[in-house]
Amino acid sequence: MDTRLSSEQQALVDVARRLTERLGPDGVVSLDDDDRVARLDQATTEAGWRRLRDDDGDGRPLASGVEAGIVASALGQALGDTALFGPLLAADLLRRVGIDAPGAFTVALVPELSSLAVADAGRLPAAVAVDALGATSALALLPDDGGFALAAVPIAGTERSFDLTRWVSSIPAGTELEEIAGSRTLTGDDILEVEAFALSLASADLVGIMRGALELTVDYAKSRQQFETPIGAFQAVQHLLAEAKTLLEGSISVSQHASWAVDALDAGEAREAAAVAKAYCARAAIEVCEVAVQVHGGYGNTWECMAHVYLRRALLSVSLFGDDGVQLAFLAARRMGV
């Protein structure tokens, strides 16, 4: 694997970071700025980021998992309060069954957010439409002759999740689905590849969250003074920040490998790479965000400090398609038959 970005990918990094920094929230109060949220949402649509996994005309996605991860990481770093994970995953699913439907789709997950929701006898159990800002329907799986077809369920309304930067919609048990007729059904390998892509996106988002939380905290440590000395000069604070930086660098490495593996490795290997990345990034992100709160001291526990917004977003991303415990159990089953 060559981790170096191409010139086009580096340009995407620069554009994504500039756009999200300009239109993302600059404080807790701006999270309620509907006009700013609308501008960010429109810019995300116009940039085509939600359609990166659409069909390129030959059955392949327009962009690789690496490009999708770049955008996911930029949104995580800037706490971008717009939809990406859900629409990208929906686009990937639709492409796999041979459907070009650029509608406002997201995905329906089980209430624990650990997997795609699966219908039983034509009806959906209780589910959650995630990352549902602007979406009108959520995709679920419908068992079909040993594989899975796609089905859509309408979204009645959305609300801001505990994350504060992403929207969800509760889907009551028993909701009827409308099957989406595609040219093929999803196989077991398709499901593994979709899960690998979802986990790579969540890991990239967690990397961005860690990067943003660490930047916020380092800036605070430089300016906040105790005993007429910046707290960043104290060894105890330096140790915390150095450990957080180490966790971030390790997360970048495994996340990039998972994003690359989405399109470069076979289904099983890609899913294992994604599980490794998610397990590592999930644990690292919580620790880095908790360091951010700790270094901010008493201010870190207040509503006005953005540290808790990073922690909230991390907690949701950790849950998406399973936390570190779920991924370690998957690896134990795959590699050791446990």
| pTM given for the model | 0.96
Q: How many Å apart are CA 191 and CA 298, to the nearest integer?
A: 45
Whether residue 210 lies inside any domain: the answer is: yes
User: Could you please report the per-residue DSSP string of 237-250?
Assistant: HHHHHHHHHHHHHH
CATH of the domain at 232: 1.20.140.10
Q: Shortest CA distance to 89 belongs to which of 186, 161, 195, 2?
A: 195
Using alpha carbons only, what angle is made at residue 251 by residues 82 and 243, rounded to the nearest 5 degrees? 115
Whether residue 49 lies inside any domain: the answer is: no
Whether residue 266 lies inside any domain: the answer is: yes
Kindly report, residue by residue over 205-223, the tens digit of the pLDDT: 999 999 999 999 999 999 8
Kindly report, residue by residue over 174-205, the tens digit of the pLDDT: 888 888 888 889 999 999 999 999 999 999 99
The runs of H, that is alpha helices, within 61-187 are 65-77, 85-96
- Top pLDDT among 338 and 205 is at 205
Burial of 290 (0-12, 13-18, 19+ CB in 10 A): middle
Instruction: Give pLDDT, residue 102.
Output: 66
Partners of residue 55 on adjacent β-strands:
61
Kindly report, residue by residue over 137-178, the tens digit of the pLDDT: 999 999 988 899 999 999 988 999 999 999 999 999 988 888
Whether residue 95 lies inside any domain: the answer is: no
Domain that holds residue 328: 189-336
Kindly report, residue by residue over 98-119, the tens digit of the pLDDT: 987 667 899 999 999 999 999 9
Kindly report, residue by residue over 31-73, the tens digit of the pLDDT: 999 999 999 999 999 999 999 999 888 889 999 999 999 999 9
Whether residue 243 lies inside any domain: the answer is: yes
Query: Which one-letter amino acid corresponds to residue 116?
Result: L
Instruction: Give pLDDT, residue 333.
Output: 94
Instruction: Give pLDDT, residue 227.
Output: 86
Q: How many Å apart are CA 65 and CA 53, to the nearest integer?
A: 8
Instruction: Give pLDDT, residue 180.
Output: 87
What is the domain count for the chain? 1
> CA 222 → CA 157, 249, 295, distances in Å?
43, 21, 11
Whether residue 85 lies inside any domain: the answer is: no
